[in-house]
Amino acid sequence: MLRHALKLDPDFTHALHNLILLLHVCRRFDEAERLARRAIHEGARTADMYNNLGNILLAKNSGDIDDGLWSYRRSIEADPDHIRAHSNLVYMLPFMCDDGYEILKECERFSRRFETAYLVHDVQYHNERSTNRRLRIGYVSPDFRYHCQSFFTMPLLGNHDHSAFEIYCYSSVREHDNVSHHLSVHADVWRNVADLDDSQLATIIMEDRIDILVDLTMHMSGGRPLLFARRPAPVQIAWLAYPGTTGSAAIGYRLTDPWLDPPSVPDADSRYTERSIRLPDTFWCYDPLDTEPVVNPLPADEAGTVTFGCLNNPAKLTDRAIALWANVIANVPDARMILWVAEGDARERVSAKFEANGVDRSRLQFVDMQAREDYLRTYHRIDVALDTFPCNGHTTSLDALWMGVPVVTRVGSTPISRGGYALLANLGLPELAAESDEAFVKIATQLALDQTRLRTLRSGLRQRMELSPLMGGARFARGVEAAFRQAWAEWCEAA
């Protein structure tokens, strides 16, 4: 129908825009990109068109993050008030940037542009200023559903102390599923708010007398930054979406851990607008929501050669990461690598980058987006996972470890580039985290060539996970609750 409409009227921009969106959703990225580029070339240089192009490039991504960021910047030039393009730029910048101050600068630019009009107004709160009473905690998310975020919200919501905390969930999910139901069971109050705008939701949150409001999405898709700018709760905290900063003057705190943000690093918190509260062990507490599939024997024993893998978001496949991986593969005879890259041009471009680094494309294997069980079974073919850089894998690394696959990571300076190290430190495996490119190649090579160690790790990683803070839901919940108490006490004292 959309194609027919364009035949009748080639200048029907609205139909073209919707066709590009549909192709994107159907993962026909090459066609969607061609249409978007042609439209821009022929004069449709609108903010929406540039934003669409950026989304397409980063969905099909072959490591060329600069092109996606360029598209978002062109979108902002076309319409300085295009809030999604601003948010997309802020979210994607850490995928290629390991400079916390550059990321902060972009986040603060967003805040000045969109939040200032709300921040100039005083807000009056009627919350009881008592440090010992039962506190009302509000969680805001568009992802209370079968989504990777639920692997982390389930352990927390399922272990809250309801005698000390009353839990409210504000769900912007359009179509709730079984996971939504299981999450809702752990809330004292569950509100479906997808049809409410930010102003309406802020009013409800204030009427609920929420003491602490938690932003679970930040600048990711479906986030509500202008809800938090309205300051509907006296204490507002950012957590979970990704370890970093919102740039918002309306959000007072961010949760982190000692590995992502070592307390010994001078002025580390100057990279964030929020104050950092370090949880005792880990930023993430993980529940795979299933015990299947089980861990299999070491694939190399059957294949006769080592298989590396990276099933991270392909938008993280930077040239620097590919160069590191190529050096590792070159050191291991007959080694192969499995990557998650969409079919089409992206695979050709990734293959060419490996060839430019001396690795023949015949040593590469690709998978596309899969159902979760099939995705986890892909780890049955992988002996060693190689992490992305500067944006480390987070959920994907936990999935790999759960499936018995050790992860070798490169440690950077920003919290998002220290995620792999944080996970390994909590597992008692910090030796798999490299502080330099040379160390990364050495660690990964030595591990791949030591199949006795690989067998030992594979057979014990799942149990190691289960016994670690990474899956200790009750311990994690007590740490988060202590953070809430700290933030609340500071507000009471300041008031």
Say what the pLDDT of residue 7 is: 56
- On whether the CB atoms of residues 36 and 49 are closer than 8 A, the answer is yes
432, two tokens: 């798999």
Fold matches, 2-97 and 135-285+473-494: no
Say what the pLDDT of residue 6 is: 56
For residue 431, the one-letter residue type is E
Q: Who has greater pLDDT, 328 or 15?
A: 328
Q: How many residues does the structure list for the chain?
A: 495
For residue 251, the one-letter residue type is I
Q: Is 270 exposed, middle or buried (0-12, 13-18, 19+ CB in 10 A)?
A: exposed
pLDDT tens by residue, 2-14: 565 555 556 556 7
Q: What is the CATH number of domain 2-97?
A: 1.25.40.10
CATH topology of domain 299-471: Rossmann fold (3.40.50)
Say what the pLDDT of residue 29 is: 86
Q: Which of 303, 269, 295 is nearest to 403 (CA)?
A: 295
C-alpha distance from residue 52 to each of 67, 72, 81, 375, 451 (Å): 12, 9, 16, 27, 45
pLDDT tens by residue, 30-43: 888 888 888 888 87
Range 135-285+473-494: architecture per CATH: 3-Layer(aba) Sandwich (3.40)
C-alpha distance from residue 184 to each of 98, 150, 177 (Å): 37, 12, 11
C-alpha distance from residue 124 to each of 206, 230, 236, 270 (Å): 10, 12, 15, 29
pLDDT tens by residue, 99-126: 999 999 999 999 999 999 999 889 999 9
pLDDT more than 90, % of the chain: 83
Split at pLDDT 50, 70, 90, the class of 64 is confident
What are the domain boundaries of the chain?
2-97, 135-285+473-494, 299-471
Average pLDDT over residues 271-289: 97
Q: What is the enclosing helix (H) or strand (E) of 23?
A: helix 13-25
Say what the pLDDT of residue 434 is: 98
Average pLDDT over residues 173-191: 96
